[in-house]
Amino acid sequence: MSHTVNGIPASPGIVIGPTWTFSPPRADVEAYTVANPGVEQLRVRAAVAAAVEQLAALEERARATIGDEEAEIFAAHQMLIEDDDLLADIHNLIETRHVNAEAAVHEIIEATAESMLELDDDYFRARSADMRDIGRRVIYALMGVTADVGRLPPEPSIIIADDLTPSDTVQFDPANVLGLATVRGGPTSHTAILARSLGIPAVVSAPVELGSLANDTPAILDGLSGRVTFFPTTDEVEEAQAQRRDFLERLAGDHATRLEPALTRDGVHVEVVANIGNAEDARRAIDNGAEGVGLFRTEFLYLDRDTLPGENEQIAAYRAVAEIIGDRPLVVRTLDIGGDKAVPYLGFAAEANPFLGWRGIRLIDHHADVLLGQFRALLQASVGADLRIMVPMVASVEEAVQARGILNEAQVALHAEGRPQAERVQFGVMIEVPAAALMADKLAEVVDFFSIGTNDLTQYTLAVDRTNERVAALATPFHPAVLRLIAQTIEKAHAAGKWVGLCGEFAADPAAVPVLLGLELDEFSMAPSAIPTVKAAIRRLDRAECRAIAQDVLNLPTAAAVREYLAAHS
């Protein structure tokens, strides 16, 4: 009998096919006493070497098929497993207790993962899952379990799993993955991000009874609505087929026109630009029709290392992007760490509430030098570019003024040193904290532009931790409170003659386009893969009509009412 479960949409598209349930191979570890600890230590060395080799291959594979950012996950895993302290602990345990290699690896990895969990810090919690992932890999190597056998779908299937690690996901042959549904995980989980990069429809937080689901169960997975239907009726299959055809046709049409500008039906040009993290993304952005970059996240230069990157290293990384972007607008965000991304060498301590803690521009008090260094590198890397620099997590006018002062200091110093630097430079702030949105009129007086970060603005306005799966469904930017803050930000900026972009995930949601267009947003910035679809959505709309839509939704009482209204007017 047809049976539907409702999860959270994580990657768009509709697929129909047989299910295949993924379960990691069992690696039940038995502890026993060994006569010769030296042999066990050698086995650990060999297994770690094998794990590193597998991870290097996965890194290569991810780099070739998905992108640099995803490949970095596996580079980080290699670093974790080769950690000297961790290996020393394992060897010591074998030496002192004469236990077998599997038991020693299991015990040390579990203890390390547990202590990371106890830190009550999202960054370390995520690391704890990584730790278990690599522990499993080493134990498989010790037991001679081949990670791949029996773990890969034999034919194109909808993969259902309790949860998937990045290494699980990358090992699947994309040709055999019609779609993905996981019981756990939120829309910002690694699986969701990978699925979007690969263009595979996905649903997360789907309450599927894995125990009673046989392989080859006929199913429909709808990554647009978040629904997964098992044993669909003929009518349901026919309807899904029609929806799938429409979706694919529209996608092909959007792709064909991706390089054309986004002009509304009444002739208003809206800038559609990309969120990127490195040069590879920049290339993909231009291929997908980006008219520039609206958010270059620079954290990657600072993460997974022990010391600050030097000026020359930074210049090289920024220049690689600036050269690809050429004359197009290039909005770079300065270092946004804290929250779920900690950098130990900058003196981060565990915090009870890292998202309310020492994050983003708040580093300026103790690390003005880091910001100055970044400004210097950006200015030197962007000679001839249309450079726009913005700072994250601003909550007050003082922070904006202070940051702008440091930018000015960098410009004056470079001039005095006779070094070439960008001639065209705008300075902006991200609007991510409700206080900043409420103070938009005053902030607009001290900056050249705003970029609204709806991922954080939603989290802070609605008091929902963006990394907490249990409240993931509450974190919607369609909530009228978030929309009112966006409206107010744009209105105040325009009154002061300043432009406004939006670089949170909201900009990539076609359902949000009429509202944002109606609120007169100047620039939409999103993952490169979303650009063709959003450009096409803009072309179908009339801005005058969207103004009326925007005013209507601002007066609705709930996020659900807003979504319903927008669905009825699409």
Write out the binding residues.
297, 333, 432, 455-456, 466
- Smallest separation (angstroms) from Mg ion to the CB of 455: 5
Name which of 453 and 528 has its Cβ closer to ligand PEP.
Answer: 453
Name which of 159 and 394 has its Cβ closer to Mg ion.
Answer: 394
Contact call for residue 505 and Mg ion (CB under 5 A): no
Separation of alpha carbons 57 and 51, rounded Å: 10
- Smallest separation (angstroms) from ligand PEP to the CB of 325: 18
Amino acid at 61: R
- Smallest separation (angstroms) from Mg ion to the CB of 295: 9
- Per-residue binder mask for Mg ion (CB under 5 A), 341-380, x = binder: ----------------------------------------
190 in catalytic set: yes
Cβ–Cβ < 8 Å for 406, 365: no
Q: What is the dihedral of CA 149, 154, 160, 164, to 10 degrees?
A: 40
Q: Which of 77, 91, 106, 190 is catalytic?
A: 190
C-alpha distances in angstroms, 210 versus 20, 22, 166, 186?
Answer: 10, 10, 20, 18
Cβ–Cβ < 8 Å for 389, 426: yes
- Smallest separation (angstroms) from ligand PEP to the CB of 335: 11
Q: Which of 77, 91, 106, 503 is catalytic?
A: 503
Contact call for residue 453 and Mg ion (CB under 5 A): yes
Paired sense of beta strands 499-502 and 424-431, if any: unpaired
Tell me which of Mg ion, ligand PEP, none is bound by residue 504, counting a contact when its beta carbon lies within the kind-specific cut-off of 5 to 8 angstroms. Answer: ligand PEP
Annotated binding residues for Mg(2+): 432, 456
Q: Is 424 helix (H, G, I), strand (E, B) or coil?
A: strand
Please give the angle made by the CA atoms of 148, 63 and 192, to the nearest 5 degrees.
70
Name which of 22 and 449 has its Cβ closer to ligand PEP.
Answer: 449
In 3D, which of 137, 102, 131, 133 has the Cα closest to residue 117?
131
What is the DSSP code (8-state) at residue 230? E
Name which of 168 and 432 has its Cβ closer to Mg ion.
Answer: 432
Annotated binding residues for phosphoenolpyruvate: 297, 333, 455-456, 466
Contact call for residue 465 and Mg ion (CB under 5 A): no
Q: Which of residues 399-438 bind Mg ion (CB under 5 A)?
A: 432
Tell me which of Mg ion, ligand PEP, none is bound by residue 297, counting a contact when its beta carbon lies within the kind-specific cut-off of 5 to 8 angstroms. Answer: ligand PEP
Q: Rule CB under 5 A: choose which of 121, 168, 271, 456 binds Mg ion.
A: 456
Name which of 456 and 505 has its Cβ closer to Mg ion.
Answer: 456
- Smallest separation (angstroms) from ligand PEP to the CB of 363: 15
Please give the angle made by the CA atoms of 168, 169 and 174, to the nearest 5 degrees.
130
- Smallest separation (angstroms) from ligand PEP to the CB of 466: 8
Amino acid at 79: M
Tell me which of Mg ion, ligand PEP, none is bound by residue 503, counting a contact when its beta carbon lies within the kind-specific cut-off of 5 to 8 angstroms. Answer: ligand PEP
Residues contributing to the site for ligand PEP (CB under 6 A): 295, 297, 336, 432, 453-456, 503-504
Paired sense of beta strands 14-22 and 218-222, if any: antiparallel
DSSP 267-326: --EEEEEEEESSHHHHHHHHHTT-SSEEEEE-GGGTSSSSSPPPHHHHHHHHHHHHHHHT
Name which of 456 and 523 has its Cβ closer to ligand PEP.
Answer: 456
Separation of alpha carbons 8 and 226, rounded Å: 5
Separation of alpha carbons 236 and 288, rounded Å: 34
C-alpha distances in angstroms, 113 versus 12, 29, 80, 106, 530?
Answer: 33, 17, 12, 10, 36
CA 101 to chain CA centroid, Å, is 36
Tell me which of Mg ion, ligand PEP, none is bound by residue 351, counting a contact when its beta carbon lies within the kind-specific cut-off of 5 to 8 angstroms. Answer: none
Q: Is 431 helix (H, G, I), strand (E, B) or coil?
A: strand
546 in catalytic set: no
Q: Which residues bind Mg ion (CB under 5 A)?
A: 432, 453, 456
Residues classed as catalytic: 190, 503
